[in-house]
Each structure stands twice: as C-alpha cells, then as structure tokens.
Chains A and B, each alone.
Chain A
Amino acid sequence: MSIVDTPVPVAPAAPARATARLLRSELRLVFGRVRNLVLLAGLAAVPLLIGTVLFVTQSTPVAGQGPPFLDRVTGNGVFLVFAALVSCLPFLLPLCVAIVSGDAIAGEASTGTLRYLLVVPVPRTRLLLAKAVAALAFAGAAVVAIAVVGLAAGAAYFGVGDVVLLSGDTIPLAAGMLRTLGVVGYVIASLTGLVAVGLFLSTLTEVPVAAMASTVVVAIVSGVLDALPQLSAIHPGLLTHHWLDFGEFLRLEVDASTLLAGLAVQGAWVAIFGALAWSRFTTADVSS
C-alpha cells in the first residue's frame, strides 16, 4: 500500500543525453511530416526548373537581365546554385522557415500535445531550444537541397569547370566548391533571425497557420522596407537586408567585414526574438 515501499525508479539521464533524445525526436517529427517533405521537394525543384528552362531554350540570358548569376549558368553549371538561391531567398525560403518555425509551438498547442509534452515532463526551455534547432535544421536542409540539386542539374546540363569570379579572376573548381560551401553556410545563417521570429510568433497563438502567415509577412515587409530609399537609415538592421551578401564569396578577396555585418544583424534578431520567445513560453499558461 505504501508508496514509499514501491518507489518508481527515477534516474534522470544526463541533460546532454536527454536533450539529444529530445532533439532526435523533434527532427524525426519535422522531417517525417509529409507536408514538410513536399515543401523540401518543391524547393529542390527550383534549380532543376531554372536549369531545364535554360537548357531547353538554349539561350544565354544577357548579363544584368533576370536574377543575378543567371547569365553565367550556361557557362558554368556551378552558378545554377547561386541563381537558384537568389530566386528562392525573397519568398520560398522564408515560406519554408515560416511553416516550420511557426508550427513549432503553435502546432503542438493546437493538437493539444503541448500539454502532454510538458507533463512528461519536458522542461520548457529545453523544448523551445529543441524546436528552434529542428526548425533551423529544416531551413538548412532546404538550402542544402537547393545547392545539391542545383549543382547536379548544373553539372548535367552545362558541365562545371573553373570558376570565374565576379572580379573576372578564375579559381580552380575545388576552390569554387569551397566557396559554394561558404555561400550555403551564410545563407543558412541568414535565416536564423527569421527562425527566431517565427518561433516567437508561434508562442503567441494556438493557431499554427496564423504564426506561419505572420512570419512570412515579417520577411516580406522587411524586403519592402529594404526597397524604400527613404528608410536607408534603418536598412542595415533589417532582417533581410544582408541576405544577398553571399555574393561576397565570389570575389577574389572575400571581405569578411561585409559577411560579419550580416551575421551580426542575424545574431541581434536571434537574441531579441529568442529572448522574447523564451520569456513568453516559459511563463504562459498552457490552456490548449
């Protein structure tokens, strides 16, 4: 009868172990969901689409027309990666980030699973962190998917070779690949601020679609403001302002300060919205 006689063995795993298990579960949830996989496939199809159009029409776009890098694709397939990233950055990648980060907390709240996670118990801070990492991982997977498919399609359609940089200098293909890696890393890092925004919005509502939509709106409004010369004073701090700075990797001398400025802005957005999300989520009543 006595509870004292039959204690339930409670041997908490080391926090790092527990966090790793939680993270694995989150990743499985995000990457196992059909909707997300369709999204990923859609993004990966963009470079394929661009490459196919260029290949079939056999036309080399005039420099300065169409998105940056498009005119170089037929000369060197590597550039299909950059052209595709430029095409996806204004809308498709933000959409992808918004869907996963906006869904992070609000999705669990709307199905009611949040309350059961919390009574397992999963500490709220740890859950939020795992959700953030999983969302970022998905955004990263999207960027990588674009790059990989871009490279494969570019190589298949146009072949790849030594890379002619924006400055006109030529570097060997291997060095070009390294720079491509840099581009991918920078683009992923550029999305961290939006992940934090999405996560914060996700803690505010039990309606995932609302969080997703408002996250997309944030990215789009940021782009709109960035295009208004009257607001040039605030441009450097905008979420999306430095997104296309990845072109820096294609100069002979990569200017680290330009890249660091972009990363710093993302860091600031992450700090602010991460803190907001944390303070909201760790104190909110879970009444869903």
Chain B
Amino acid sequence: MTAGGPAAEPAVRTRGLTKRFRSGQVAVDHIDLVVPRGAVYGFLGPNGSGKTTTIRMLLGLVSPTAGSVELLGSSMPGGGPVVLPRVGALVEGPAFHPYLSARANLERLDAVDATASPQSRPGRIDAALERVGLTAAAAKKYRQYSLGMKQRLGLAAALLRPRDLLLLDEPTNGLDPQGTREVRALVRELADGGATVLVSSHLLSEIEQVCSHVGIMSRGELLAQGTRAEIAETGTTEVRVMTRPDQRAHVARVLTGLGLEDVRVDGEVVAAPLGGTAVEKVAQAVVGDGVDLLGLEVRRPTLEDVFVRLTGEGFDVDR
C-alpha cells in the first residue's frame, strides 16, 4: 500500500516460473506472467495445460521448481501472511467440510483468518452469501449442495472480505447459463471496484466478454499474453469475397494476381489473408475484371481464432 502508483507494480508477476512434478512432468515451463493492476485477465488453456498448477504456485501451495512469484508487490511464498488476506482465491473447484452447513463453513474460514474482524463476521458472511445468491440455502449442509451451489459457495468464500486480487480457477465450472452470466457480472463488478481479477478457463467463450487481458497456456507454456486487442492482432485479417458460384475460380485468380497468398474457396466465399493489401484495391480489381461482386467482407481476427491456432483444435488432452 506504500509502493508508488498503481502502474508501478503489476498485481501478478512471475519470472521463469517452472514446476516439474516428481513424476518428471513439467507442468509449467518458464512462464513470465504479467497481470496489470485493475485488469481482468483471462487465463486460457486446454485441459492439462498448467493453469491450476500455476495458480497453486502463485498462492504458495506448490513450491516452484524454478522462478519467482510476486503478488501485489510481495514475493511469494514469503509474503503470504501479509499479502494473502488481500487475495481471494478459487483453486480447482470449491472445497468445504461436507457435514457442516454453508454458513458454518464460511464461519470457520473467517475464524481462522488472523486479520478478519470477528465483530463484522456475521454481516460479511450474509453479504457474501447474498452476492452469490445462496442466502436461502445457507443452512443446508454442504453435502446436500448441487455442483453449481458448491461453486457459488466457493466464490462466496473468496468474497468474504474486500479483496485487491482475485484468482478464480474455472469459476463457471458447473454453473447453469444464468449462473455463468452472474459470474461474468460479478467479475465485472469486482473490476469496477478496483480489484484485479485473474480468471482461468478452458472455455474461451465463457470469459472472453469480460477480459481486458488474455494469456494463453498450452502444454505448460505461456504462448501469448497481452491486452485482448494485442492478442487478436496476432491473428490474420481476412478478406472474403462473395460472388456467383461459376465465378469463384475467377475471383481466386484475381486475388492471387494481386499478390495475396493462401487464397481458398471457403463454402460460398473466396477468402484470403489480406496481408498488407488495401481492401479497396481488392474491390477494384475484382469489379474491374468483370466479376459480379455480391459482397465483400474484411474479417478481423477473433480471440478464438488465435486461441485455436495456438492451442490446436484437437480434443485429446495433450499429455
């Protein structure tokens, strides 16, 4: 709280962070994560790409084989006692005592927090339960909770106190569409309140809309990271030309003549990466060559294109 200026220190920074498990597997491989203050950072990657292991290392649960971690300016795990009270976390799904009620579970978590005030506890617990929509089910035993209710309770635990940083590992796992939407709204609300949020997911579509920044993991490596726009720009902008079926080959020849590469017929359109070519030149050339131009579209790269290109489309877990 002393450090100069919010821009000075990222909320999360790792340098060469690596985890090799005793099995010999390198789950996280020299990643340099930078989550700026105030960002909503989408931490994306297929199953088994190392997201949870990274989050465990950020929190000091797993010790890195190499590299360092800084959370809110303090180095971990040494700074844990000071910095972790300001961090809310959901790691690999919620976990509570099954035979205690939701409220009793939250009470326990708050009671063991040396920095939480016992006086404000009931109020904060009520507020947290309210925020995730569990007020009506607060007295139920955790064992009787449904998957989505458990997930909500995990979020409530992370929100027991005001936080500067939230590390949410797959927060939408098991939630219904309504719940997923609520989580997105919650993330937005937290960010608006000044918190930094890191949200991991293997489903891009679930969090894409709320992210200001994105990091893409695959096989333990951080393949790309930056603002959404920066990441999207690493994709390719395409021009797509619509014409009559009999003229498609003709259009393809024109595009190739303009110097465009990788020209292909994609369903009803002829598409090609635009490269440095201006789109009006394409339009002129096509029309000038006597083609009946039915439509012309410039498609900017989406995050999803980049994600799929970087992580592959395969369904199988890589290792």
Q: Hey, which bits of chain A sit against chain B, CB under 8 A? A: 1-8, 10-13, 15, 17-18, 21-22, 24-25, 28-29, 33-34, 111-113, 115-123, 283, 285-287
Contact = CB atoms under 8 A, between A and B. Distances in A.
A30 B242 CA distance: 71
B86 A111 contact: no
A33 B108 CA distance: 14
Interface of B: 1, 3, 5-6, 11, 37-38, 53, 56, 59-63, 72, 80-82, 84-87, 89, 91-99, 108-109, 111-115, 117-118, 157, 161-164, 193-196
Contacts of A121: 60, 80-81, 84-85
A111 B100 CA distance: 12
B63 A285 contact: yes
A118 B60 contact: yes
Nearest to A23: B112
Contacts of B86: 8, 10
Nearest to B62: A285
Contact of B89 (A22, A33, A119, A123): A119
A123 B115 CA distance: 12
Given A8-B85, A121-B81, A287-B62, A3 B6 contact: yes
A4 B95 contact: no
Contact of B118 (A6, A21, A111): A21
A3 B63 contact: no
B95 A116 contact: yes
A262 to B, nearest CB: 35
A185 B96 CA distance: 35
Per DSSP, are chain B's interface residues mostly helix, strand or loop, or mixed? loop
Most buried by A among B1, B3, B53, B60: B1
Given A112-B92, A115-B95, A120-B109, A5 B194 contact: yes
A3 B85 contact: no
Contact of A286 (B3, B62, B80): B62
Contacts of A33: 99
Given A17-B114, A115-B61, A116-B109, 8 more contacts: A7-B1, A10-B115, A22-B114, A24-B111, A112-B92, A116-B91, A119-B91, A285-B62
Given A1-B194, A4-B1, A121-B85, A25 B97 contact: no
Contacts of A21: 111-112, 114, 118
Nearest to B108: A25
Nearest to B111: A25
Contacts of B114: 12-13, 15, 17-18, 21-22, 122
A112 B162 contact: no
Contact of A117 (B56, B112, B164): B112
Nearest to B4: A4
B111 A4 contact: no
A52 B164 CA distance: 63
- 7 nearest A-B residue pairs (beta carbon): A112-B95, A18-B114, A121-B84, A286-B61, A2-B6, A285-B62, A7-B1
A15 B115 CA distance: 10
16 contacts: A2-B194, A3-B6, A3-B196, A6-B194, A7-B164, A10-B82, A12-B115, A15-B114, A18-B114, A112-B93, A113-B97, A115-B95, A116-B95, A286-B56, A286-B61, A287-B61
Contact of B112 (A112, A120, A285): A120
Contacts of B108: 25, 28-29
B168 to A, nearest CB: 12
Contacts of B96: 111, 113, 116
Contacts of B80: 121
A8 B161 contact: yes
A112 B90 CA distance: 11
